[in-house]
Structure formats: C-alpha cells, structure tokens
C-alpha cells in the first residue's frame, strides 16, 4: 500500500495528520467536555492517553496498544468509535494512527506555539526547470517525490 511506504519514510505529523482524526471521531466521547466524556479518557491531552496506570496508547507498540485494539476490533461491543456514534474510521485513517503510534506517538504543539524555524532548502539534482526562488526548490522536490514533472514555463506575454 502506498501509505505504508510513505509512513516508513516520514512519520505522521500529529497536528496535520492525527489531531483531525481524533477530533472528528474521538473527541465527542473522549475530549474536553467533562459532561460527555466516557471511560475517564481524554484523547485531546497527551497525559491522559499516555497515563502511567493502564495507558491506552503505548508509544512504539501499536499492536499492544488498547487504542489500536479497539480501533481494529470487529466486536460491536468494543470497537471504537462505537457503531451507535455514526462515526467510522477509514482504512487510511487507521493506518495513519498505527504509523503514528509505531513512530513514538509524539504529540505536537500547535504550530502557532512553536518557534519559527527556517527549513533547509532542498537540493535539486536533475533540474530541467529554472529555480528562481527558494520556494521553487520545495515545489520541485515534492514533484520529484511524487514522480511528477513541472509544467513548462508560461510565455512572458501571458
């Protein structure tokens, strides 16, 4: 599967890949609202999910994590999210969650709370198009990663 290949190369990013899944499918019962919270579990807080007594997520061990066992279960009594919720995880979402746990289940701070850092500009080996700005290198690197080539430059008169 393509996702497996990508997951091996680059672990899922919590804010971009994992938080939206948890928010859409888990927070209704395991989020910040104490009135609707079930099993005394908050998946919006790292401390709750990784708590020392009976942790639900075991970083680096998705097969041993109760979290993944519940997500992958076929038993309607234990599967999460429960069928009555009307929410369902896709195979891709399940694989992302598994890859995230296997890569250490790192919770990230929201990007707005992280210090600004300038990323290294990718080096492009076989470039046939002109790089006029550092952003062009990022775009070209992603195109190459996806096996795509850039479109030809537009004529100046357009």
Reported as a single tens digit per residue, the pLDDT across 55-68 is 999 999 999 999 99
pLDDT of residue 7: 43
Element at 57 (helix H, strand E):
none
Per-residue pLDDT tens over the stretch 95-112: 999 999 999 999 987 778
Q: How far is CA 106 from the centre of its chain?
A: 10
Total Cβ atoms within 10 A of residue 120: 7
Q: Please say whether the beta carbons of 20 and 27 come within 8 A.
A: no
CA dist., res. 13 & res. 139, Å (int): 19
pLDDT of residue 5: 47
Model pTM? 0.71
Q: Higher model confidence: residue 117 or residue 130?
A: 117
Q: Please say whether the beta carbons of 93 and 37 come within 8 A.
A: no
Domain boundaries, the chain: 2-110, 117-158
Mean residue pLDDT of the chain comes to 89
pLDDT of residue 129: 61
Length of the chain: 158
Q: Look at residues 9, 13, 28, 3 and name the one whose alpha carbon lies nearest to residue 91.
A: 3
Local confidence band at 126 (pLDDT 50, 70, 90 cut-offs): low
DSSP 86-112: T----HHHHHHHHHHHHTT------GG
């Amino acid at each position: 599967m393509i996702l497996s290949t990508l997951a091996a190369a680059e672990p899922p990013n919590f804010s971009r890949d994992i938080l939206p899944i948890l928010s859409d499918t888990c927070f209704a019962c395991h989020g910040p609202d104490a009135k609707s919270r079930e099993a005394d579990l908050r998946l919006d807080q790292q401390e709750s999910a990784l708590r020392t007594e009976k942790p639900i997520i075991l970083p680096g061990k998705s097969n041993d994590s109760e979290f993944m066992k519940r997500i992958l279960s076929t038993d309607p009594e234990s599967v999460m999210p429960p069928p009555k919720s009307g929410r369902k995880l896709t195979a891709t979402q399940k694989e992302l969650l598994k890859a995230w746990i296997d890569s250490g289940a790192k919770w990230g701070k929201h990007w707005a709370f992280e210090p600004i850092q300038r990323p290294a500009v990718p080096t492009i080996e076989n470039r046939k198009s002109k790089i006029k700005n550092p952003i062009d290198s990022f775009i070209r690197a992603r195109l190459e990663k996806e096996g795509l080539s850039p479109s030809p430059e537009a004529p100046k008169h357009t």
